[in-house]
């Protein structure tokens, strides 16, 4: 009988796969926008900074 052996999932290998998927999505997003990968990195950093600033502003406004 041909049974494929069950593949043990190594958490470290899964993390590496996820990083590869993120890198692929990053390249696709850069290609879609027509910018270089370095420029796309700067865009992500700026967007992350804006999000953090908004969250801090909301937290301060609630107090």
Q: Is the pLDDT of residue 8 over 80?
A: no
**Res 6: pLDDT:** 67
pLDDT tens-digit map of 24-41 = 998 998 999 899 989 999
**What DSSP assignment string belongs to 1-63?**
---PPPPPPPHHHHHHHHHHHHHHHHHHHHHHHT--HHHHHHHHHHHHHHHHHHHHHHHHHH-
């Amino acid at each position: 009988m041909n049974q494929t052996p069950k593949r043990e999932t190594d958490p470290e290998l899964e993390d590496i796969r996820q990083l590869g998927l993120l890198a692929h999505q990053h390249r696709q997003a850069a290609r879609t926008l027509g910018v270089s990968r370095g420029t796309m990195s700067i865009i992500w950093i700026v967007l992350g900074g804006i999000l953090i600033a908004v969250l801090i502003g909301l937290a301060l406004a609630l107090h």
